[in-house]
Amino acid sequence: MPETRTNITDIYCSKCDKRYDSDAVLTLCSCGAPLLVDYDYNNAAAQLTPEILGERPNTMWKYIEVLPVKQIENIVSLGEGSTPLLHSRMIGESLGLESLYFKDETVNPTGSFKARGLAMAVSKAKELGLEKLIIPTAGNAGSALAAYCARAGLQCKIVMPKDTPAPFKVDGIYYGAEIEEIEGSIKDCGGRASELMEQEGWFSIATLKEPYRIEGKKTMGYELAEQFDFNLPDVIIYPTGGGTGLIGMWKAFDEMEKMGWIGSKRPKMVAVQAEGCAPIPRAFQQGKDHAEEWQNPETVAAGLKVPSAVGDFLMLDAIRQSKGTALAVSDQEMMADTKLLAAREGIFASPEGGAVVTAVKRLVQSKFIKPTDEVVLFITGSGYKYLDVLEHFV
Contacts of 290 (CB under 8 A, 6+ apart): 283, 312, 313, 316
Is 244 domain-assigned? yes
**pLDDT of 194:** 94
Q: For residue 329, give the nearest of 356, 307, 348, 302 by alpha carbon.
A: 356
Higher per-residue pLDDT: 138 or 148:
148
| Predicted pLDDT of residue 186 | 86
Q: What is the mean pLDDT of residues 5-24?
A: 94
Mean pLDDT of 381-391: 93
Average pLDDT over residues 1-27: 89
pLDDT in tens, 126-142: 999 999 999 999 889 99
Query: Other CB atoms closer than 10 Å to residue 18's CB: what's the count?
Result: 13
| φ, ψ of residue 136 in degrees (nearest 5) | -85, 130
pLDDT above 70 (res 158): yes
Q: What angle do CA 56, 57, 63 make, to 5 degrees?
A: 65
- Return the CATH number at 348: 3.40.50.1100
Region 262-279 average pLDDT: 98
Q: pLDDT, tens digit, for every residue of 216-237?
A: 999 999 999 999 999 999 999 9
Residues contacting residue 2 through CB under 8 Å, at least 6 positions apart: 47, 64, 65, 72
Residue 176 located in a structural domain? no
pLDDT at 205 over 50: yes
Following CA atoms 248, 254, 255, 257 in sequence, which dihedral angle do they give, to the nearest 10 degrees? Answer: 150
Give the three-class secondary structure for 158.
Answer: strand
Instruction: List pLDDT tens digits, range 160-176.
Output: 999 898 999 999 999 99
- Tell me whether residue 262 is in a domain: yes
Residue 6: band (very low, low, confident or very high) from pLDDT cuts 50, 70, 90: confident
Strand partners, 12: 19, 36
Buried-state track 324-350, b at ≥16 Cβ within 10 A, e below 16: bbbbbbebebbbebbbbbbebbebbbb
pLDDT score of 213 more than 60 = yes
Instruction: Tell me: pLDDT of 5 over 90.
Output: no
- How far is the C-alpha of 295 from the C-alpha of 292, rounded, in Å? 9
| Other CB atoms within 10 A of residue 55 CB | 7
pLDDT at 45 (0 to 100): 97
Residue 91 domain boundaries: 85-109+214-393
For residue range 76-122, what is the model confidence (pLDDT) as tens digits? 999 999 999 999 999 999 999 999 999 999 999 999 999 999 999 99
Confidence of residue 73 (pLDDT cuts 50, 70, 90): very high
Q: Report which residue type is found at 293.
A: E
Q: For the whole model, what pTM was predicted?
A: 0.96
Q: What values do phi and psi take at 66, rounded to 5? A: -120, 35
Residue 3: the pLDDT is 58
pLDDT bucket at 4, cuts 50 / 70 / 90: low
Query: Does pLDDT of 351 surpass 50?
Result: yes
What is residue 2's predicted lDDT score, i.e. its pLDDT?
47
How many distinct structural domains can be found in the chain?
A: 1
Residue 79 in any domain: the answer is no
The candidate with the shortest Cα–Cα distance to 378, out of 238, 232, 234, 243, is 238
Per-residue model confidence (pLDDT) at position 394: 82
pLDDT of residue 167: 92
Compute the Cα dihedral for 333, 338, 312, 242 and give only its sign: positive
**Assigned domain for 52 exists:** no
Q: Is residue 242 part of a domain?
A: yes
The overall average pLDDT reported for the chain is 96
| pLDDT (average), residues 348-353 | 98
Is 60 a member of any domain? Answer: no
| Average pLDDT for 9-34 | 97
Query: For residue 336, is it within any domain?
Result: yes
